[in-house]
Amino acid sequence: MADHTINSAGLVNFHKLIVLAGSVEGARPLFEQLVNDVVGVAHPEVRSPTASPGDWGIDAFIGDLDGGTVGVWQAKFYPTKTDVGHQSDIRDSYKSAHRAAGGNGYTLSTWTLAVPSELTPKMMQWWDNWKKRTEKRDNVALDLWDAGRLRRLLMPEQARATREYWFGSHTTHPTLQQSTPDPVLWQDVSNENRYDDFLFVHQLAHANMHETRSAREAFFNAEILEAEVADKAVPREVGALRTWRARIGSTWENKYNSIAADTTGNLLPGLYEHVMDVIDSKHNDHAEGLRAQTLHGQGLMHQQVEAARAGWVRNWREIAEIRDNFAQVSPVEELGTAPTAGELKAIESESKTATERVQ
């Protein structure tokens, strides 16, 4: 097939990212890279973490994550307009970055939202109000890079290389041959007992779900999918996996809040079944984009639980904290290997005995 040529006459038009990627979904990681490069014009030391499994709410940052002060940029690809429907997404992104700073020992000094579109008047009003309240409450300086701000940041002479790289007047890209890549194969777990002491298995047990072979298999295959995406480091796939994780987290959170508000007691009937059904029935687009199956999405959900970002009962945070305390008593770095089931049980017994003595 012949190459296709995009003639943008040097115009900074963010819709070009969609043309380059072939889809809105594919343009998201490209926009993240673009924002990283724009930050790099003034801050060559800018860095961008990879999700493993989380990225601490950071798309790009400057500063020191080891107890220092950090400025964070969050890229949100809203290609048409940034409207009131995006408010919760923006708030959640900021909360993730602020929470990660507090939980990992560094200080969040600035948080900048970057979007490739303009804000509606109502959204501008909301942003100004939310910015003032948040800055006063958290002592964090908030900033907004909308489409106009990004264009102006790309206009100076020192930004010429970045501008021409992304928006050169004539950029020719080879048209990809239409072929179907090999799918990510589903694999059996050779030793399911290796997950006996994993948090996601314990969370299932607390929800009275004791048959967990399929959950362990899904978790195992999600780990394989994550490793393949990380190994190939294709921006489109990295971004697609991050987006799928975000949607899975939102699916769980919405249903958790709904059931928790309507029930009493620790058990949350229907939470697990609903979340997995939604992933299986409505996440086909995410799976296909990664040549995966929706069962991989169920595994990604178990990864969220393993990372102490979700759970299946009301007190899931307490369960996660207990397991985390065990890990601190016998850290992997000191043992050289992960604690065995026997070692964890011994720790649990000692902890229980010590608690009884205090009481």
219 & 346 share domain: yes
Question: 203 and 144, same structural domain?
Answer: no
Same domain, 62 and 149: yes
Q: What is the pLDDT of residue 332?
A: 36
* Structure-token pair, residue 81: 């307009």
Residue 216: inside a domain, yes or no? yes
| 262 burial type by CB count under 10 A (0-12 exposed, 13-18 middle, 19+ buried) | exposed
Specify if 185 maps to a domain: no
The residue count for the chain:
359
pLDDT tens across 100-110, in order?
999 999 999 99
Count of the separate structural domains present in the chain:
2
Confidence tier at 7 by pLDDT (50, 70, 90): very low
In a domain, 357, yes or no: no
Residue 60, beta-bridge partner list:
73
Q: What is the DSSP letter of 300?
A: H
Cα–Cα distance measured from residue 47 to residue 58, given in angstroms and rounded to the nearest whole number: 10
272-300 average pLDDT score: 92
The CB density around residue 27, as the number of other CB atoms within 10 Å, is 24
What's the average model confidence in pLDDT over 53-81? Answer: 90
Give me the pLDDT at residue 17, please: 86
Which pLDDT score, from 0 to 100, does residue 186 have? 84
Same domain, 201 and 346: yes
Q: Please compute the mean of the pLDDT values over residues 62-83 and round it to a whole number.
A: 93
Using DSSP, state whether 89 is helix, strand or coil: helix
Q: Kindly tell me if the per-residue pLDDT of 347 is higher than 50.
A: no
Alpha-carbon span 97 to 141, nearest angstrom: 13
- In angstroms, rounded to a whole number, what is the distance separating the alpha carbons of residues 97 and 110? 10
Q: For residue 215, how many C-alpha atoms fall within 13 Å in the half-sphere facing its CB?
A: 24
At which of 161, 188, 211 does a domain end?
161
Identify the pLDDT of residue 26.
84
Chain mean pLDDT for the chain: 83
In sequence order, the β-bridge partners of residue 125 are none
Q: What confidence score (pLDDT) does residue 169 get? A: 52
Q: Is the pLDDT of residue 341 over 60?
A: no
Q: What angle do CA 169, 171, 174 make, to 5 degrees?
A: 165
Is residue 49 one of the residues assigned to a domain?
yes
Q: Are residues 145 and 222 in the same domain?
A: no
Element containing residue 130 per DSSP (H, E): helix 121-138
**What CATH number does residue 21 fall under?**
3.40.1350
Q: What is the pLDDT of residue 13?
A: 86
For residue 60, give its domain range: 7-161
Whether 253 and 342 map to the same domain: the answer is yes
Residue 35 sits in the same domain as residue 138:
yes
Same domain, 143 and 272: no
Question: Averaging pLDDT over each range in 142-156, 160-174, 228-242, which range is the top one?
Answer: 142-156
* Residue given tokens 């900074």 in the structure block: 12
- Return the residue matching tokens 């190994």: 231
231-243 mean pLDDT: 86
Predicted pLDDT of residue 73: 96
Residues in a beta bridge with 72: 61, 111
Residue 274 predicted with pLDDT over 70: yes
Q: Using an 8 Å Cβ cutoff, are 235 and 33 in contact?
A: yes
Amino acid at 76: K
Is 174 part of a structural domain of the chain?
A: no
Asked if the structure places residue 266 within a domain, the reply is: yes
- Which of 161, 177, 210 terminates a domain? The answer is 161
- Residue indicated by tokens 């890209």: 173
Within a domain: 184: no
Q: Give the pLDDT confidence score for residue 327 in this predicted structure.
A: 52
pLDDT at 5 over 60: no
pLDDT greater than 90 at residue 39: yes
**Is pLDDT of 350 > 60?**
no
Residue 218 has pLDDT above 60, yes or no: yes
- 290-307 pLDDT, tens digit each: 989 999 999 999 999 999
229 and 124 housed in the same domain = no
pLDDT confidence of 170, banded at 50, 70, 90? very low
Residues 172-189, mean pLDDT to the nearest whole number: 60
User: Do residues 216 and 326 both lie within one domain?
Assistant: yes
The pTM (predicted TM-score) of the whole model is 0.48
Q: What percent of the chain has pLDDT over 70?
A: 82
Confidence band of 203 (pLDDT split at 50, 70, 90): very high
Q: How many CA atoms lie within 13 A of 98 on its CB side?
A: 17
70: three-class secondary structure by DSSP: strand
Q: Are residues 11 and 157 in the same domain?
A: yes
Coil/strand/helix, residue 5 = strand
Tell me: do 204 and 131 sit in the same domain: no
Distance CA(143)–CA(35), nearest Å, equals 14
Q: Residue 227: its pLDDT value, please?
A: 84
Residue 175 lies in a domain: no
Please state which of the ranges 57-71, 149-163, 264-278, 341-355 shows the lowest mean pLDDT. Answer: 341-355
